[in-house]
Amino acid sequence: MDIIRLENLTKLYKGLRAVDNLNISVREGVIFGFLGPNGAGKTTTIKMMAGILRPTQGRIFINGMDLEKEPSRVKGCSGFIPDRPFLYEKLTGMEFLRFLSGLYGLDDSGSTNNRLIELLEIFDLFNWRNELIESYSHGMKQRLVMCGALVHDPKVLIVDEPMVGLDPRGARLVKDIFRGQAEKGRTIFMSTHSLETAQEVCHEIAIIQEGRVIAQGTVDELREDAGVDGNLENAFLKLTEGKGIRHEKPLSSS
C-alpha cells in the first residue's frame, strides 16, 4: 500500500518553479531517499509534506488522507525532523517532549512518561533531560528533535538532512533507529546530501533536479539508469550531470 502519494505537486515562488509537477509514491515500511543538488526543491517538497508550506498546485496524501482536507489528522500520524533544530531554548529537554506529547494528543499518563524516558535513553539525552535546551550542543538539539518526532509513534517520518551536526556515533544511532522503524512498518521519507547514508539505509531513492524527478528506483536501478558502475555517487553525478558542483576552470592559488 502507498502510504505517501504526491500528485502533481507544484510550488511557485514569485514565478520560480521550486517544485514542478512532482509525482511520487512510497510504500509502507520503506526508507525513501530524496536526493538532488542544492536548490533542486528537496526542502520545499519536505516542508509541503510537513504541512508548513502550502502547495501552489497538486495534492499530498499520507496514510490515505489528503493533507489539504484533513491537516490535523495527517499531521497526527506523521513526524517532521527539519534540517535546523530551532527549539524553545528556555524549556528543558523533558519539558519539550511533554509539550509535544500534549500537542499530539497523548495523555499525561505513566505510559507516556515511560515512552519519553525510553526515547531520551535511546538518544543518549537522559542525563540532560532537566537542563535547559539553550545549553545543548547542535548535535544534542538535533537528537532531541528526533526524539520529539517519535513521541507519538508516527506512521510516517519526514526528515530533512538528518545527519547535519551529528557526530559519527550519533549518525550511526540515527541510521539504526531508521532501520528499526522501517522493520516495524514505519515509513521514512528522507532528504539527504550524504550519498553514503542514502546508499547504506535507503530501500528506494528519487533524484530531483529543478523541481522534477529525474530518476527513481533502488540503488542498483539508478546505477543501471545512469549506465555507470561503482557507488551511488557516480550514478548521481551522471544523472544530474554534475550540476551544482561544476567548475569551469580549476581554482587558482594565490
| Interacting residues with another protein (CB under 8 A) | 47, 50-54, 71-73, 75-76, 80, 82, 84, 86-88, 90-92, 95, 98-105, 130-132, 134-135, 137, 148
Cβ at position 223, least distance to another protein in Å: 34
> What is the spatial distance between Cα 14 and Cα 179, in angstroms, rounded to a whole number?
39
Stated as kind and residue range, the H or E segment containing 81 is strand 78-81
Instruction: Collect all residues with Cβ–Cβ distance below 8 Å to 151 and sequence separation of at least 6.
Output: 79, 97, 100, 101, 104, 106, 115, 116, 119
Strand order in the sheet with 2-13: 16-27, 2-13, 57-62, 65-66
Residue 119 or 195: the one with the smaller Cβ distance to another protein is: 119
Shortest approach of another protein to residue 50 CB, angstroms? Answer: 4
Structural contact between residues 189 and 49, judged by C-beta atoms closer than 8 angstroms: yes
Contact 157, 79 (CB under 8 A): yes
Q: For residue 6, give the H/E element and its range.
A: strand 2-13
Instruction: Choose between 91 and 214: whose C-beta lies nearer to another protein.
Output: 91
Using DSSP's 3-state secondary structure scheme, residue 26 falls into strand
CB of 75 to another protein, least distance (A): 4
Question: Shortest CA distance to 235 belongs to which of 224, 223, 245?
Answer: 223
Q: Tell me how far, at minimum, the Cβ of 177 lies from another protein, in Å.
A: 19
Question: Taking the complex as a whole, how short is the minimal distance between the CB of residue 94 and another protein, in angstroms?
Answer: 10
CB closer to another protein out of 164 and 228: 164
Closer residue to another protein in complex, CB, 115/223? 115
Amino acid type, 24 = I
Name the residue nearer to another protein (CB basis): 133 or 219: 133
For the bound state, the minimum distance from the C-beta of residue 149 to another protein, rounded and expressed in Å, comes to 9
Q: Give the nearer residue to another protein in terms of CB position, either 12 or 214.
A: 12
